[in-house]
């Protein structure tokens, strides 16, 4: 049997509903460990109960510590796959961060649950089994970090949480899953794009994410001029357009050497410098705004944090968002 490392970080998969308060919270640090009898027939599992955090408490430095832990453990032991259990709220961010930065060739899957461990129809055990089955499947080699959830396998780069409570919450808009976990087999029907890998030492860059709205007040952005930020990501409209009122402030940020990355608040498609009116994408690109490549805002922010450690100058950053 293949050796698999399961690292628990918390989330609903490790939480229970407390009768008295009728609220879901972390109550048992060994909640995921108790599911292990279900997976023992698929792999020889070693567990590390690393954290028991709700995923809104996860930060990029914690993601980076997790990356280091995975690399260290895999250097010390001969694991053939790694599964990370994680709260679903920020799961896509941790999965994408690991996808960009893990120096590892074995399969890595991230999973979690929408229903807590003592709820009827709890999805944690089956998601954990599916994730373990996925990482021991030979075809999972070279797929980058994947998210395994509700019988589907998604590329970390494309997957996003789309529903607040449905167990089918993880979807990859425009792309779909890359594979499936059925009763008898784990199978793939798509290849993810070539994997990008960037060596990093930390994840401390200060990069806020701002969402554009109709009638946006430039003062909301002016605040950022006084902040010690390393970059900013803006979720613009449609193809990548912004309200003209915020352009002078954006220009000031760029003139200060703060890289500004544009993504769309649409959850399908890519931003492009098409529109030539004031605030249109064409003008924004000419101003020096970096256009991203279909990543959502939260992932573009992580990519900028990683890219800042690779690129020497702001002018070199665009290339990290071209593919």
Question: Which is nearer to ligand ASP, 65 or 230 (by Cβ)?
Answer: 65
**Which of 9, 52, 55, 140: binder of ligand ASP (CB under 6 A)?**
55
Q: How far is the CB of 55 from ligand ASP (least distance, A)?
A: 3
| 3-class DSSP assignment, residue 19 | coil
Q: How far is the CB of 89 from ligand ASP (least distance, A)?
A: 3
Question: Which is nearer to ligand ASP, 30 or 225 (by Cβ)?
Answer: 30
- β-strand partners of 5: 46, 82
If binding is defined by CB under 6 A, does position 160 make contact with ligand ASP? no
**H helical segments located in the chain:** 36-39, 60-76, 91-101, 124-136, 218-225, 247-255, 281-287, 297-307
Q: How far apart are CA 207 and CA 154, in angstroms?
A: 26
**Which of 32, 45, 114, 132: binder of ligand ASP (CB under 6 A)?**
114
**Which of 7, 8, 9, 12: binder of ligand ASP (CB under 6 A)?**
12
Determine the size of the site formed for ligand ASP (CB under 6 A). Answer: 9
* Residues with Cβ within 8 Å of residue 280, at least 6 apart in sequence: 241, 274
Q: How far apart are CA 8 and CA 110, in angstroms?
A: 10
> For the chain, what's the residue count?
323
If binding is defined by CB under 6 A, does position 26 make contact with ligand ASP? no
**Which of 89, 119, 196, 230: binder of ligand ASP (CB under 6 A)?**
89
Token pair, residue 203, equals 């994840």
Do the beta carbons of residue 307 and residue 316 sit within 8 Å? no
**Segment near ligand ASP (CB under 6 A); pick from 42-50, 83-91, 195-203, 290-298:** 83-91
Question: Which is nearer to ligand ASP, 15 or 70 (by Cβ)?
Answer: 15
If binding is defined by CB under 6 A, does position 28 make contact with ligand ASP? no
* Residues with Cβ within 8 Å of residue 19, at least 6 apart in sequence: none
If binding is defined by CB under 6 A, does position 124 make contact with ligand ASP? no
Residues annotated catalytic, as ranges = 12
Q: How far apart are CA 74 and CA 39, in angstroms?
A: 20
Interface residues toward ligand ASP, by CB under 6 A = 11-12, 54-55, 87-89, 112, 114
């Amino acid at each position: 049997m293949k050796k698999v490392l399961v690292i628990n970080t918390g989330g609903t998969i490790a939480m229970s509903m407390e009768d008295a308060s009728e609220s879901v919270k972390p109550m048992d640090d060994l909640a995921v460990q108790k599911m292990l009898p279900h997976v023992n027939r698929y792999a020889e599992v070693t567990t590390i109960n690393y954290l028991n955090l709700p995923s809104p408490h996860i930060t990029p430095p914690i993601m980076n510590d997790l990356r280091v832990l995975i690399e260290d453990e895999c250097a010390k032991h001969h694991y053939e796959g790694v599964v990370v259990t994680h709260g679903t709220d920020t799961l896509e961010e941790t999965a994408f961060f690991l996808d960009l930065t893990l120096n590892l060739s074995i399969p890595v899957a991230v999973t979690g649950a929408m229903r807590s461990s003592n709820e009827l129809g709890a999805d944690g055990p089956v998601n954990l089994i599916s994730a373990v089955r996925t990482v021991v499947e030979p075809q999972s080699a070279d797929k980058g970090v994947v998210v395994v959830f509700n019988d589907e396998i998604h590329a970390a780069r494309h997957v996003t949480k789309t529903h607040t409570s449905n167990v089918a919450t993880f979807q990859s808009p425009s792309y779909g899953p890359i594979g499936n976990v059925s009763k008898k087999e784990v199978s793939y029907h798509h290849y993810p794009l070539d994997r990008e890998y960037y060596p990093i030492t930390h994840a401390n860059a200060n990069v806020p994410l701002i969402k554009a709205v109709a009638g946006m007040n430039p003062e909301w952005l002016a605040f950022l001029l006084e902040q010690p930020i390393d970059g900013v990501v803006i979720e613009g409209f449609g193809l990548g357009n912004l309200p003209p009122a915020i352009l002078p402030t954006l220009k000031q940020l760029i003139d200060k050497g703060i890289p500004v990355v544009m993504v769309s608040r649409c959850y399908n498609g890519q931003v492009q410098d098409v529109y030539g009116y004031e605030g249109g994408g064409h003008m924004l690109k000419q101003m020096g705004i970096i256009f991203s490549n279909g990543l959502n805002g939260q992932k573009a922010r992580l990519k900028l944090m990683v890219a800042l450690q690779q690129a020497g100058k702001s002018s070199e950053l665009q290339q990290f968002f071209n593919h």
